[in-house]
Amino acid sequence: MSNEPKPQPYPDEPLVCKIRLKGHLGHEWTDWFGGLSISLEETGETLLTGAVADQAELFGLLKKARNLGMPLLSVRIIEDN
């Protein structure tokens, strides 16, 4: 078994991510989160969804959520099959 990361099939295409945070974040934060869509869930969670250019951008978004004090619940990369 190899520990090397699995290469993306199309490395020049952005990743589509879903980032789930505990707590509600207002829609006015859309620009600050790079244009990701903000969905407020009835469970009291916020779902950020959209294209992310690469892992560096994803880590930057996660850092912004951390700086707001919002607990990270999950991060999912959506793959088209």
Q: How far apart are CA 12 and CA 26, in angstroms?
A: 31
Residue range 7-62, pLDDT digits in tens: 555 556 788 999 999 999 988 898 999 899 999 999 999 999 999 999 899 999 99
CB 41 within 8 A of CB 79: no
- What domains are there in the chain, each with its CATH number? 15-78 (3.30.70)
Continuous H helices in 1-81: 55-67
> Two tokens at 80?
């088209």
